[in-house]
Amino acid sequence: MSNIGKGSYWSSQPLLKIGTLVTSLALLVLLLFLMIFVYN
């Protein structure tokens, strides 16, 4: 039981990091597209 809990916690940690990284990247891409659209 304790092993499963440890495993779930271990797997949840990198997922959170990847999630924040993906969201920040998506926001940057959106900003870039918006700037290009405005300039054109």
What's the domain range around 32? Answer: 1-40
Q: Which tokens go with 10?
A: 């271990």
The pLDDT of residue 12? 65
What was the pLDDT predicted at 14? 76
Count: domains in the chain: 1
DSSP state of 40: -
Give residue 16's pLDDT: 79
Q: How many residues in total does the chain contain?
A: 40
In a structure prediction context, what are the per-residue pLDDT tens digits for the chain, which is 40 residues long? Answer: 455 556 565 566 777 788 899 999 999 999 999 999 999 8
Query: Which residue bears the tokens 């969201």?
Result: 23
